[in-house]
Each structure stands twice: as C-alpha cells, then as structure tokens.
Amino acid sequence: MRATEMTPNDKTNDSTEQKIFDAAHELFVQKGLDGAKMQEIADRAGINKALLHYYYRTKDKLYEMVAKSIIHQGIPIIQKTIESDLPLEEKIIKFVDFYIDLIRRNPFIPLFIISEMNKHPEQFIEKILPARLPRPEIFLKQVEDAVAAGTIRPVNPQHLLLNIISLCVFPFVARPIMQMVLGMQKTEADQFLKQRKTEVTEFIFAALRPR
C-alpha cells in the first residue's frame, strides 16, 4: 500500500512501530539484550506493555528486528564503497570510517552477529542478511594490482580485508576486557574508541608500505 493510500489506523500503527523501534534501539545500545527490559522499552515508547507484546511477542524478536534493520541499512553503504572505483587508499579510509562509526552507534551489532552465527548460521544468512551482499572481488583485485605495481608490499588480499574488519570490530566486541586490561573508565574507553578510525588506517598504511 502506498503512503498516500494509508488509513489513519495504518499511520498510527506505523507511528507506534517507529516509537518501539527507537526506544528498543536506544536501550539495546545502552544496555544490550540482557540489560534491556520489555517494560522499560514500553515505557520509553510511551505505550503499555500489552501493546508492545502485540507487536513483538518476545524481546528476542524485537532485538532481531532492530539488528536486522541496522544491518540492512549498513551493508549497502559498505557494498557501495567496496565495489566502487575509488583508489585503494581512499577506499580503505572510507570503509574504516563508516564501519567504526556504524559500530560505535550500534555496539550490540557485532555481538548479535556472532551469537546468531554460532546458534544457527543458515537461518542467520537467510533471515537477517540482505540478498545482495558486498562483492570483494574489486577490492581484492586492487590489492593484487598495487602489489604488482610495487606501491604496497606483497600481501594476501583476503588476509588484508579480514585484518581491516578485525581491527575495526574487535575493540567493541572485547570492550569489557579492554577496559579492565587497560585500566579505563567508561569515558576514557569512549574517547579511546573514537580514536580508532585514525589508528586503524595509519596502522594499515604503515603495514602496507613497501620495505
């Protein structure tokens, strides 16, 4: 149904669902799946708990909906960057910049992906991921060409891509351990993670520099 054909009731439903999504997203960011409570989500959305359960029977279903929405918003942007004709260095900078910003705004996403992939990988691929995923062939070919031209040191392109992703994701997945080992308070850790974009790109470029 097109927006112009919506009835007042349809618009109310859309508005309620958006309020639920926004409230759930805020609480999942702040507290994660276990910390967020359905009553708290209902209160923040300005609805009663019975209505929340009418839309989403369980917290797990709501969590899945929020995570799926964010993944579906993020992957096309990653896809556009990876498959673009940007120079390799610029592509790495844009990829790292977007990827870390996405995780900083949604720190529960990496944990959601790891959990779902471990529990039922086939369902995760079918239910959560969009049908069109980024194709890394262009990026991998750019790395191979740069190695052949001598502008970067010899490196396995697949390992390079995995290393970039790992450098972006790991500090967020391991944040509690990171704070404990490095002796950081929450505000210090927040500032530290803000610096990751610069640190990761500089580390990658230093590692790729011809010897």
**pLDDT number for residue 131:** 86
**Which residues fall within 8 angstroms of residue 124, CB to CB, at 6 or more apart?**
113, 116, 117
Could you give the C-alpha distances from 177 to 1, 51, 172, 181, 185, in angstroms and in order?
Answer: 48, 38, 10, 6, 12
**pLDDT number for residue 43:** 95
Mean pLDDT of all residues in 179-193 = 92
**pLDDT number for residue 11:** 46
Residues in the chain: 211
**Residue in 122, 117, 125, 132 with CA at minimum distance from that of residue 169:** 117
pLDDT tens readout for residues 59-78: 999 999 999 999 999 999 99
Q: Which residue has the higher pLDDT, 8 or 125?
A: 125
**pLDDT at 2 exceeding the cut of 80:** no
Chain centre distance of CA 84: 20
**Residue in 14, 22, 10, 70 with CA at minimum distance from that of residue 46:** 22
Tell me the domains of the chain and their CATH numbers.
7-57 (1.10.10.60), 74-208 (1.10.357.10)
Cα separation, 80 vs 191, whole angstroms: 29
Q: The tokens of 25 are what?
A: 């997203």
**pLDDT at 127 exceeding the cut of 90:** no
**pLDDT at 104 exceeding the cut of 50:** yes
Q: How confident is the model at residue 119 (pLDDT cuts 50, 70, 90)?
A: confident
What is the DSSP track for 146-177?
A: HHHHTSS----HHHHHHHHHHHHHHHHHTHHH
Cα separation, 40 vs 7, whole angstroms: 30
pLDDT tens readout for residues 17-61: 999 999 999 999 988 888 999 999 999 999 999 999 999 989 999
| CA R_g for the chain | 20
